[in-house]
């Protein structure tokens, strides 16, 4: 059925031969929005425009069909900023950051952001760090990869060797932007399969097997989009050091810190992953993820200007002064850069740290609840770093991220209820019930949660994932737990009363979750109570 044809035929006046716009006008109306929009084509430019109020309302109404950004738990992209930041955006929305001569103050703030990020990433004091804002991490990854390719080509040419077959090594869990780089810039992809026992991320001991004289670099993921795990930059660097000692091959590392670049420094300040590892030549991150800025901002830094090949730098004169550009995209809005500086000033190190700790706390609450019911949780941020410890020893802050295994505040899980709950009769009647039905049913409640297959090597494993961002409060996490459990039980053919979670319940272990349901040996939504780390702690807000 062609919906457009049905709509057209269902209108009151399908034939308008003797019908004019003036005949549609009625008296005593405050607004003629529908009349204004009636003749507007959907896929071609209208001959005549409509009033600005009608154009606004038409688009505004259509946008109500979008999902709620706060409940979009599939995305790492930040969705809230304080009113003062939004005011700053509107005041500067018409500025192009690339016009350095016209907007010098913007460039000063841009340079200060680069300096602050370099310090955050522990750049050596004697190095000449260079970097730039980008449209996002995808553009930043392209630049980081191009710099490594140009460096490799130059070294090969100087040695009189062939430079026509470059390759790059990264894990199968890498975000698609890394594969885009390889395909767009004619670099062979050496994709390292992942394994469940290595947490669905690249194992450096496997990755080193893919490195040879044509490898331009290894890309390490600081925060896998699949499970939130950090790949081990230090171990990869040590293996490449050993390889260089044996063969003379000097292979650099680029860290894709799209999510982890603005999270690890605050949650795990002692964790070694950045420019304090000499083999790390460049790092990218997304300001619009855990940098807490609206969508449209990435960053890339090189530990020294010598690692940014001169062929990537262009000198420009036509904007009124001599300017230098080394980005793929030329024009870019100034507002996101200013918002990054706003966050740096507004939050400071301690503010970012409090938000990171709060995100991890809420992620642990969700992880424990799911892991104790119908699911297996594959992310590890709720598990003690000391695997023999079940809870913090006396004197240790339970809220300290260092007590737990490191990673992003991401909860990745999969169902186990199929084998436990579904009766033979139910399975015979509904053999097509699948895990993907859980997010489909949750979407009816407003939640957006992805269901996808694990990367190459474990591609038959289906995963569900929740990204815990600043906007996902403890109250919302509790509501999410109830909705997931009720949805799961309804799929399993069980009748369950609407679950309620008493707020403010504090316990080291989720109350009731370890009291098995008599019929099935698993707990259910009815006996779930909230758990919370620490003593009476509440979700951090910027007003605190």
Which domains are seen in the chain, by residue range? 36-65 (no CATH), 89-341 (3.40.640.10), 357-388+396-493 (3.90.1150.160)
Q: pLDDT band at residue 30, thresholds of 50, 70 and 90?
A: low
Question: Of 16-30, 270-284, 307-321, where does the model show the most confidence?
Answer: 270-284
pLDDT at 314: 87
pLDDT at 424 over 80: no
Per-residue b/e over 343-362, b at no fewer than 16 CB within 10 Å?
A: bbebbeeebbbbbbbbbbbb
Of 358, 351, 368, give the one whose Cα is nearest residue 399.
358
Strand bridging mode 167-171 / 253-257: unpaired
82 contact partners, CB below 8 Å, separation of at least 6: 346, 542
Handedness of CA 140, 143, 149, 152 (dihedral sign): negative
Laid out side by side, the sheet with 253-257 consists of 130-134, 298-302, 280-286, 253-257, 215-221, 167-171, 188-192
CA distances from 15 to 12, 20, 41 (A): 9, 11, 17
User: What is the three-class DSSP state of 220?
Assistant: strand
Lowest-pLDDT choice from 70-79, 315-324, 402-411, 456-465: 315-324
Place of tokens 């799929």: 491
pLDDT exceeds cutoff 60 at 303: yes
In this structure, of 30-39, 66-75, 401-410, the range with the lowest mean pLDDT score is 30-39
Across the chain, mean pLDDT equals: 85
Q: Is 283 helix (H, G, I), strand (E, B) or coil?
A: strand
Does the pLDDT of residue 26 top 70, yes or no?
no
pLDDT over threshold 50, residue 540: no
Distance CA 361, CA 399 (A): 7
pLDDT interval class at 268 (50, 70, 90): very high
d(CA 259, CA 141): 13
Residues in the chain, how many? Answer: 544
pLDDT-wise least confident of 138-152, 233-247, 357-371, 530-544: 530-544
The C-alpha atoms of residue 488 and residue 441 are separated, in whole angstroms, by 9
Q: DSSP code of 210?
A: G
- What pLDDT is attached to residue 393? 60
- Among 238, 192, 235, smallest CA distance to 215 is for 192
- Per-residue pLDDT, averaged over 31-39, amounts to 72
Under DSSP, the state recorded for 344 is: H
Angle at 425 between CA 421 and CA 427, to 5 degrees: 60
Mean pLDDT over 88-111 rounds to 93
pLDDT over 70, % of the chain = 81
pLDDT in tens, 147-193: 999 999 999 999 999 999 999 999 999 999 999 999 999 999 999 99
Q: Please, is 43 exposed, middle or buried when counting C-beta atoms within 10 Å of its C-beta (0-12, 13-18, 19+)?
A: exposed
Banded model confidence at residue 242, pLDDT cuts 50, 70, 90: very high
Q: Given this model, what pLDDT does residue 544 score?
A: 34
Give dist(CA 264, CA 363) in Å, integer: 15
- Residue 71 is encoded by which pair of tokens? 């409940």
Which helix (H) or strand (E) covers residue 490, if one does? helix 474-491
* Rounded average pLDDT over 89-96: 96
Burial status of residue 118 (CB atoms within 10 A of its CB: 0-12, 13-18, 19 or more): buried
pLDDT above 70 for 356: yes
Burial of 158 (0-12, 13-18, 19+ CB in 10 A): exposed
| Pick from 467, 493, 481, 464: nearest CA to 532 | 481
Q: Dihedrals φ, ψ of 195, to 5°?
A: -135, 150
What is the C-alpha to C-alpha distance for residues 358 and 474, in angstroms, rounded to an integer?
A: 9
When pLDDT is cut at 50, 70 and 90, the band that residue 510 belongs to is very low
Pairing between β-strand 167-171 and β-strand 410-415 as defined by DSSP bridges: unpaired
Q: Is the pLDDT of residue 458 over 50?
A: yes
**H helices of 264-334, where?**
264-267
Q: What pLDDT band is residue 339 in, cutting at 50, 70 and 90?
A: very high
- C-alpha R_g of the chain: 27
DSSP state string for 329-340: ----BSHHHHHH
Which strands, in side-by-side order, build the sheet including 462-467?
Answer: 375-377, 410-415, 462-467, 451-453
Higher per-residue pLDDT: 20 or 537 = 20
Residue 75 and residue 467: Cα distance in Å, rounded?
Answer: 7
**Above 50 in pLDDT, residue 91?**
yes
Contact 325, 313 (CB under 8 A): yes
Question: At 222, phi and psi to the nearest 5?
Answer: -95, 80
Residue 362 pLDDT exceeds 90: yes
Read off the pLDDT band of 100 (50, 70, 90): confident
pLDDT in tens, 207-231: 999 999 999 999 999 999 999 999 9
DSSP structure class, residue 448: B
């Amino acid at each position: 059925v062609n919906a457009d044809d049905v709509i057209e035929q269902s209108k009151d006046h399908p034939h308008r031969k003797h019908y004019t716009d003036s005949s549609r006008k009625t008296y005593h109306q405050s607004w003629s929005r529908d009349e204004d929009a009636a003749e507007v084509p959907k896929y071609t430019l209208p001959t005549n425009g409509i009033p600005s109020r009608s154009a606004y309302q038409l688009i505004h109404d259509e946008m109500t069909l979008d999902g709620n950004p706060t409940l979009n738990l599939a995305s790492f992209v930040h969705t809230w900023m304080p009113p003062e930041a939004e005011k700053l955006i509107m005041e500067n929305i018409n500025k192009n950051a690339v016009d350095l001569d016209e907007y010098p103050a913007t460039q000063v703030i841009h340079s200060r952001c680069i300096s602050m990020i370099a310090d955050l990433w522990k750049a050596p004091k004697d190095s000449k760090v260079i970097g730039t804002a980008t449209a996002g991490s995808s553009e930043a990854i392209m630049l980081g990869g191009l710099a490594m390719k140009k460096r490799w080509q130059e070294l090969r040419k100087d040695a009189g060797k062939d430079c026509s077959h470059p390759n790059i090594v990264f894990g199968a869990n890498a975000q698609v932007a890394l594969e885009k780089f390889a395909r767009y810039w004619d670099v062979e992809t050496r994709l390292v399969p992942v394994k469940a026992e290595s947490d669905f991320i690249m194992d450096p001991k496997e990755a080193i097997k893919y490195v040879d004289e044509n490898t331009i670099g290894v890309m390490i993921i600081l925060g896998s989009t699949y499970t939130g795990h950090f790949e081990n930059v230090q171990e990869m660097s040590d293996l490449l050091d050993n390889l260089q000692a044996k063969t003379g091959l000097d292979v650099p590392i680029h860290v894709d810190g799209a999510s982890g670049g603005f999270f690890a420094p605050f949650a795990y300040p002692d964790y070694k992953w950045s420019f304090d590892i000499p083999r790390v030549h460049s790092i990218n991150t997304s300001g619009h993820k855990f940098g807490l800025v609206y969508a449209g901002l990435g960053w890339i830094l090189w530990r020294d200007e010598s690692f940014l090949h001169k062929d990537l730098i262009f000198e420009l004169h036509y904007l009124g002064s001599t300017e230098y550009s080394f980005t793929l995209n030329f024009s870019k809005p100034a507002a996101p850069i200013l918002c990054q500086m706003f966050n740096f000033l507004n939050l400071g190190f301690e503010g970012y740290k409090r938000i990171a700790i709060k995100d991890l706390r809420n992620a642990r609450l969700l992880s424990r609840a799911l892991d104790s019911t119908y699911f297996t949780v594959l992310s590890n941020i709720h598990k003690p770093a000391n695997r023999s410890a079940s809870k913090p020893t006396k004197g240790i802050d339970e809220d300290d991220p260092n007590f737990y295994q490191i990673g992003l505040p991401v909860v990745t899980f999969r169902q186990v209820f199929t084998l436990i709950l579904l009766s033979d009769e139910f399975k015979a009647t509904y053999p097509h019930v699948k895990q993907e039905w859980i997010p489909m049913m949750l979407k009816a409640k407003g939640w957006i949660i992805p269901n996808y297959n694990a990367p190459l090597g474990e591609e038959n494993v289906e995963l569900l994932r929740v990204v815990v961002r600043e906007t996902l409060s403890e109250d919302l996490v509790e509501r999410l737990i109830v909705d997931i459990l009720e949805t799961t039980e309804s799929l399993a053919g069980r009748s369950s009363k609407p679950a309620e979670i008493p707020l403010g319940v504090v316990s080291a272990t989720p109350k009731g979750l370890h009291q098995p349901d008599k019929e099935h040996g698993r707990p259910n939504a009815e006996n779930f109570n909230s758990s919370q780390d620490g003593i009476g702690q509440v979700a951090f807000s910027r007003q605190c």
